[in-house]
Structure 1
Amino acid sequence: MKIFFAAIAAAFVLVSCSDNTAYIKEIHDPILYNKTVKKLNDIVLENNFPPMVGARNYAYANIAAYEVIVAGDSNYISLSGQIRSLPPMPKPSKDDKVDFQFAALIAFCKVGNAVTFPEGSMDTYVDELKQKAKDAGMPSSTFEGSIAYGNKVADSILSWSKKDNYAQTRSATKYTVTTEEGRWIPTPPMYAQAVEPHWMEVRTLVLDSASQFMPVRPPVYNIKDKNCAFMKELMKVKGIVDSLNDEQKFTADFWDDNPFKLNVSGHVMYATKKFSPPGHWMNIVGIIADKKKADFDETVYAYAKASIALFDGFISCWDEKYRSNYVRPETVINKYFDPEWRPYIQTPPFPEYTSGHAVISAAAAEVMTDIFGDNISYTDTSETEFGIAPRSFTSVRKAAEEAAISRVYGGIHYKNSCDVGNAEGKLVGQLVIQRLHMKK
C-alpha cells in the first residue's frame, strides 16, 4: 500500500512539473531570442530601412526586452537614469505571475512592431510565440500575466522613444547639392538624395552630444598637387580597386551590407537587398552569445548593450558626415581621371567622412569584447543567405578592423576615413562601457 501511494505521489509531482515548468526549456532558450531579433532584422531588410534607422529600431526593442529581464533577474541593473531621459520602468506586483523571458520576447516584438512598418509586421510572429508558449504548457495565469507585463514595459519604452526628435527630423530640410569642389554630390547609378542629413539631431543614449568625439579634419581637398594628402588618399583607393585580388573582393563583398543596391544591366534595373551594417552586427551578437553559451538573460543583455553602442555610433558618425560633407572617391575619379571608373561595391548616398561601417563596427566590437572577453574566435555565417560564404575571425575587434578596410577595397572610402572612423567608434564603445552599469 505504501508503494502504491508513493507511486501516486511521484506521478502527481511529474504531472505538476509538466504542467508548470516544461515550457521553460523552450521559452527560456537563448536561441529563441536570437530568432526574434533576426525576425526584426528581416523586417528592417525587407522594408529598406536605412542603417541608422535600423539601429534605432534594434536599440529600442532590445532595451525594452532588457528592462523586462531586469525586473526578474537581480543580476542586472535598469538603464533608467543611465541612458538619456529614460524614466523608471513599471514593476510587476508581488501577485503578478510573470515569466520574464516570455515577457521580454513580447516587449521586444511590441516595440519592434511600433518602430517599423508596415504596421503589424511582427504580428504573425508574435502569434507563433504565444502558441509556442501554450503548446509547451505555460499556465494560463502566467501566460496572461507575462503578456500584460511585457506590453506595459513596451508602452513605457515607446512613450520615451517618441521624445528622441526622430519624428521632427522626418520633415527637416533636405541636403543641398551644390557644385562646390570637394563637397559630396549624389553618385551613380541611383543618384539618390543624401540619407538622413539631420540624424545628429536625434537624441543620444549615452553620448553627451553628437559631437562629443568629433574627429580630426579630413585632408584638405586638392587635386592640383599630386603629392598632397588628399591626392595620395584618392590614388590609393583607385590603385587598390584597379588591382583587387580574390581575398580583397571577398572581404568587400562580405562587409558590403548594402540594404538597397540598384543593379543596372542595359535598360534593365533591379534592386537587391542585404542586411545593413547594424543588422550584420546584430547577427554577430547572436553568434558570439551562442558560442559563449550565454543564457537567455545574458543574451538579451549583450544585444541591448551592443545596440546602444550602434545607435550612438551612428549619431556620432552622421554628425561628422554632414559637418565635413566630404566628396566620395568615385565623384573625383570620374570627373578628373576616368569617367567610366566604378568602385567594386556601390557607393551609398551620403557624405564620405568618416566611414559609418568603421565607426559602428568598432563601437560594437568594444562592447562585445567587454561582455565576452577578447580573442573570441568565431565563424560569421550572417551572409550565407545572400550567397556569400562564411568568414572566420580570431576576435570581434579584428572583425571590426576588417569591416573598416573593406570599404577601401570596395572603393567607397579613403583609408584615412576608415582609420579615423575606427578610432571614433572605439571611443563611443568605451564610453558605453564606462557609463553603463548593467550587470552586478
Structure 2
Amino acid sequence: MNRFLFLIAGAILMFASCKKADYQKVTHDPELYRTTVKKLNDIVLENNFPPVIASRNYVYANIAAYEVIAAGDPEHYRSLAGQIKHLPKAPQPQKGKEIDFQFASLLSFCFVGNAVTFPEGSMSVYVDELKQKAKDARMPSDVFENSVAYSDSVAKHIMKWSKKDHYAQTRSASKYTVTRKDGRWIPTPPMYAQALEPHWGEIRTMVLDSAAQIPAPEPPPYNMTDKNGVFYKSVMEVKTLGDSLTADQRHMADFWDDNAFKMNVVGHAMYATKKFGPAGHWMNIAGIGSKLKNADFGTTVAAYTRASIALFDAFINCWYVKYKANSVRPETVITKLIDPEWRPRIQTPPFPEYISGHAVISAAAAETLTKSFGDNLAYTDSSETEFDIPARSFPSFRAAAQEAAMSRVYGGIHYKNACVAGSMSGRKIGELVNEKLQFKIK
C-alpha cells in the first residue's frame, strides 16, 4: 500500500513538473520576445512615427522588459537603475510569490510600448494573445496573476520615469524658422514638410551626459563659387554618383532608405508608402543576431535593450548637431544651381543634412550588437523583403553600419563628409554605452 501511495505521489509530482515545463517552453522562448519587438515595430510603422520618436518607443519598452528580467535573476543580470543615473530602482518582486519573469517582461514591454506615444490600446489585442498563450500552456493561475501584477508595477514605474525626459515640453516648443540664406536647410520636394523635431536635442539622454557630449567636426563651409573647394566637390560627388549608380548601389540605397513615410507623386495624384524607420531596422537586426547566436531569453532582452539605448542617445546627439549646423541638402543646391530636373534616388527627409542620422545611429547600434553577439558575425538581413526589397548579406554589424552610412550618398541625400563624421560620432556613442552599462554580472 505504501508503495502504491509513493507511486501516486510521484506521478502527481511528475505531472506538476510537466505542466510547469510546458508553459515555460512557451513563455521562455526568446523567439516570443523577438516576435513581440516586431509587433511593436509594425505598430510604429502603421502609426507613422518619425524615426526619433520611434527610438523613444523602443527604448522605454525594452528597458521595462529588461528591469523585470534583472529583478528575476539578480545573480546574472544587473539592474540599469543607477547605471542610467536618473533611473530609479524598480519595484522588487514580493517574496513568496512565484512569478514567471520572462512572461512578465513581455507584458511590461507591451504595456510601455502601448503607452509611451501610441493611441491607447494599440497592443491590447496582442497582449490578450500573449496571455492566452500562457493559459493554453497551463501556467498556474497564481503564477499568471502574480506575473501580470508584477509586470504592471514595473511598467508603471518606467512610464513615470519616461515622463520626465522633456518629451512633453517639446510638443509645444517653437517651430523651426526657415531662412533663405545660402547654405541653410530649407524644405524639399515633394512634401516641402516643416523641419522634423527641431528640439529633439533637448530630450534627456540615457548614457550621454548631454546631447553635446560627442561633438562633430564643423561641416565644410558653403561655397559654390570655388570649384576646387571641399563643399563644391562634395556636391558634385553626390550628383555624379547619383547619375551613374550601379545596380548594387541602387539596391544599397533602397535597402537602407528606411523612410517611414514616403510621399509618392504620380501626375496630380499623391500617396504615401511606409517602411520601418532606421531604429526599427536595427531592432530587426538585433533579432537576427539573437537568433543566429541561439541566445537565451535574458541575453536577447539585454541585447535589444543595449541597442535601443544606443539608438536613443545617438538620435539625440545627431539632432543636436543637425539643428546647430542647419546644413543645406544636396537636392536643394543641385536643383538650384546645376540641374533643376535632378532628383535623388531616395526621398530627401525633412531636416538638416549634417550629420547623417543613419551613419550615427547605425554605428552606435553596431557597436552594441557587436558587444552582445560578437564581432564578425556574418548574417543576412531579410527584414526589408516585406517591402519587396531583396535581402543583403554582411560579414559583421560594423560592416552593415558602414554600408548604411555610404548608402545615403548613393541615395543622393547626404554629402560623404556628413556620413564619415556621423559614423565616427555613432561609434563613440556605442562604445560609451558598452563601457558605462553592465548588463550581465560576470
Sort the TM-score into its range (normalised by shorter chain): over 0.9
Tell me: CA distance 1:167–1:84, structure 2 relative to 1, closer, same or farther (3 Å): farther
Q: Does 1:341 align with 2:332?
A: no
Q: Secondary structure at the match of 2:283?
A: helix
Query: Is the CA contact 1:237–1:413 (under 8 Å) kept in the aligned structure 2?
Result: yes
Kindly state the Cα deviation for residue 372 of structure 1 after the two structures are TM-superposed.
1.2
| Whole-angstrom distance in 2 between the partners of 1:5 and 1:184 | 82
Q: Does 1:140 align with 2:152?
A: no
Aligned residue number for residue 433 of structure 2: 432
Q: Secondary structure at the match of 2:241?
A: helix
Q: Secondary structure at the match of 2:245?
A: coil
- Comparing 110-119 with 124-133, greater Cα deviation is found at 110-119
| Whole-angstrom distance in 2 between the partners of 1:10 and 1:288 | 42
| Whole-angstrom distance in 1 between the partners of 2:159 and 2:394 | 37
| Whole-angstrom distance in 2 between the partners of 1:191 and 1:371 | 40
| Whole-angstrom distance in 2 between the partners of 1:361 and 1:353 | 15
Query: Is the CA contact 1:289–1:299 (under 8 Å) kept in the aligned structure 2?
Result: yes
Aligned residue number for residue 19 of structure 1: 19
Q: Does 1:411 align with 2:390?
A: no
Provide, for residues 191-225 of structure 1, a one-character-per-residue CA deviation record: whole Å limited to 9, x for no partner.
Answer: 00000000000000000110111101000100001
Aligned residue number for residue 319 of structure 1: 320
| Whole-angstrom distance in 2 between the partners of 1:132 and 1:174 | 46
Amino acid in structure 1 at the alignment position of 2:41: N
Q: Secondary structure at the match of 2:264?
A: strand
Aligned residue number for residue 297 of structure 1: 298
Aligned residue number for residue 129 of structure 1: 130
| Whole-angstrom distance in 1 between the partners of 2:401 and 2:56 | 20
Q: Secondary structure at the match of 1:374?
A: coil
Note the 1:326-405 alignment, pairs <5 A. 326-405=327-406
| Whole-angstrom distance in 2 between the partners of 1:361 and 1:225 | 33
Q: Does 1:160 align with 2:161?
A: yes
Note the 1:15-164 alignment, pairs <5 A. 15-73=15-73, 74-164=75-165
Provide, for residues 73-107 of structure 1, a one-character-per-residue CA deviation record: whole Å limited to 9, x for no partner.
Answer: 12111111111410011101112221000000011
Amino acid in structure 2 at the alignment position of 1:64: A
| Whole-angstrom distance in 1 between the partners of 2:397 and 2:144 | 38
Provide, for residues 84-138 of structure 1, a one-character-per-residue CA deviation record: whole Å limited to 9, x for no partner.
Answer: 4100111011122210000000110100010132111000000000000000010
| Whole-angstrom distance in 2 between the partners of 1:9 and 1:347 | 70
**Which segments of 5 or more consecutive residues in structure 2 lack a partner in the other structure?**
none
| Whole-angstrom distance in 2 between the partners of 1:310 and 1:296 | 21
| Whole-angstrom distance in 2 between the partners of 1:343 and 1:27 | 46
Amino acid in structure 1 at the alignment position of 2:180: T
Query: Is the CA contact 1:106–1:126 (under 8 Å) kept in the aligned structure 2?
Result: yes
Q: Secondary structure at the match of 2:263?
A: strand
TM-score with structure 2 length normalisation?
A: 0.98
Provide, for residues 266-308 of structure 1, a one-character-per-residue CA deviation record: whole Å limited to 9, x for no partner.
Answer: 0111100000000000000000011001000100000000000
Q: Secondary structure at the match of 1:263?
A: strand
- Comparing 93-102 with 410-419, greater Cα deviation is found at 93-102
| Whole-angstrom distance in 2 between the partners of 1:8 and 1:82 | 51
Aligned residue number for residue 269 of structure 1: 270
Aligned residue number for residue 177 of structure 1: 178
| Whole-angstrom distance in 2 between the partners of 1:122 and 1:116 | 12
Query: Is the CA contact 1:21–1:138 (under 8 Å) kept in the aligned structure 2?
Result: no
* Number of equivalences: 440
| Whole-angstrom distance in 2 between the partners of 1:17 and 1:389 | 45
Kindly state the Cα deviation for residue 6 of structure 1 after the two structures are TM-superposed.
6.2
Kindly state the Cα deviation for residue 373 of structure 1 after the two structures are TM-superposed.
1.0
Provide, for residues 218-271 of structure 1, a one-character-per-residue CA deviation record: whole Å limited to 9, x for no partner.
Answer: 001000011100001000000000000100000001100000000001011110
Aligned residue number for residue 200 of structure 1: 201
TM-score with structure 1 length normalisation?
A: 0.98
Amino acid in structure 2 at the alignment position of 1:334: T
Kindly state the Cα deviation for residue 22 of structure 1 after the two structures are TM-superposed.
1.3
Kindly state the Cα deviation for residue 19 of structure 1 after the two structures are TM-superposed.
2.9
Provide, for residues 361-392 of structure 1, a one-character-per-residue CA deviation record: whole Å limited to 9, x for no partner.
Answer: 00000111112110000111110111111111
Query: Is the CA contact 1:21–1:137 (under 8 Å) kept in the aligned structure 2?
Result: no
Query: Is the CA contact 1:18–1:137 (under 8 Å) kept in the aligned structure 2?
Result: no
Provide, for residues 305-350 of structure 1, a one-character-per-residue CA deviation record: whole Å limited to 9, x for no partner.
Answer: 0000000000010000000000000000010011110000000000
**Which segments of 5 or more consecutive residues in structure 1 lack a partner in the other structure?**
none
Q: Secondary structure at the match of 1:88?
A: coil
| Whole-angstrom distance in 1 between the partners of 2:76 and 2:12 | 34
| Whole-angstrom distance in 2 between the partners of 1:20 and 1:394 | 40
Over the aligned positions, Cα root-mean-square deviation in angstroms equals: 1.1
Kindly state the Cα deviation for residue 434 of structure 1 after the two structures are TM-superposed.
1.0
